Amino acid sequence: MDPTAAVVSTTLNTVSRVSGRLAGTGAYALFHMPLARSKMRSSERELFEAAHLGRVRVNGKSAVTYRWGTGERPVLLVHGWQSRGSRFSDFISGLLDRGYSVVTFDAPGHGDGTGRSTTIIEYQKILTELHDQYGTFEALIAHSLGALGSFHALTKGVEAERIVAISGVCDFEYLVDEYVSELKLRPSLKDELLVRIGKDLFPGVPADRMPFSVRYATEVITAPVLVVHDEDDARIGVGQGRAIAAAFGDRARLVTTQGLGHRKILGDPEVVRAVLDFVEHGPGASDRPEDRADAVPAVD
């Protein structure tokens, strides 16, 4: 545990012995606050300087939006935690070459977005606003937490003809468990955190379906899904990718890689090619039996 995390862990656990509610409030606030903000790489700058810029206001903060093309045949790219839209640079040129318009953004607290925090609900609102602007997306490509946020938005009216989840999160509670484990928080603090999450993020959701999971979205989302996940992903375990694929059954394809981890996967030429082929040609882009979700056992 790094020194900052150690201080946070000690503080929250100590406060929880005096006031579980106060400690839960602190844990909840920190849960939505990325402690690092990704900077644009020099290799990404020229492409992003050519984009049409916009903003989406959400809860007093702004997401910065980027668009290439006329807006026709839109493909939406959704970044993950502590990341930014420019991390999809290797996908953008290929999509433009194939005649698509490309839309991405930096969420609040990320990249050039304002504010210090964001939530899955703010992701939903940003995607909804972009959907209102561009209509049904021909494809939606999301990474990490962006995949979970995208699936949630797709249950709330956002539409996409094809969906790609790269290193994606299936279960919101997985994020909670990772957060609690990383900070070595007391079990009672996890309970307080889940109470706040239910109240603030998922009000009205039945107890057995809280917090959100992609498993609960398969009846609403009918588009084909490509799931790409690295076996050596130390940030979001490959079990989460397998769970997404298993949830969608024969509507999903699962492609696993090795040695790319959580972030390098976005720049791998074979991953980029597989995703672009799926966006352009659909599920028939690859018929290898080892790539099909029904060849992968379900993960509980």
The secondary element (H helix, E strand) that includes residue 129 is helix 120-134
DSSP state of 291: G
Confidence of residue 213 (pLDDT cuts 50, 70, 90): very high
What was the pLDDT predicted at 293?
42
Distances (CA, A) of 61 to 64, 125, 280: 10, 12, 34
What was the pLDDT predicted at 93?
94
Q: Burial level of 128, CB count in 10 A (0-12/13-18/19+)?
A: middle
What was the pLDDT predicted at 149?
97
Residue 290 has pLDDT above 50, yes or no: no
Q: What digits encode the pLDDT tens for the residues 254-278?
A: 999 999 999 999 999 999 999 999 9
Residue 286 has pLDDT above 90, yes or no: no
Report which of residues 69 and 293 the model is more confident about: 69
Find how far residue 252's CA is from the centre of its chain: 17
Residue 77 has pLDDT above 90, yes or no: yes
Model confidence, pTM? 0.90
What was the pLDDT predicted at 284?
74
Q: What digits encode the pLDDT tens for the residues 126-164?
A: 999 999 999 999 999 999 999 999 999 999 999 999 999
Burial 15-36 (b: 16+ CB within 10 A, else e): bbeeebeebbebbbebbbebee
Segment among 76-85, 96-105, 151-160, 206-215 with least mean pLDDT: 206-215
- Domains of the chain and CATH, by start: 1-31+173-210 (no CATH), 39-171+213-295 (3.40.50.1820)
Q: What digits encode the pLDDT tens for the residues 221-255?
A: 999 999 999 999 999 999 999 999 999 999 999 99
- The tokens of 173 are what? 């509670």
Residue 105 has pLDDT above 70, yes or no: yes
Q: Burial level of 284, CB count in 10 A (0-12/13-18/19+)?
A: exposed
Of 26, 24, 32, whose CA–CA distance to 187 is shortest? 24
What was the pLDDT predicted at 285?
60
Quote the CA–CA distance of 89 and 206 in Å, as a whole number: 39
Confidence of residue 291 (pLDDT cuts 50, 70, 90): very low
Q: What digits encode the pLDDT tens for the residues 29-53?
A: 888 988 788 999 999 999 999 999 9
What was the pLDDT predicted at 283?
86
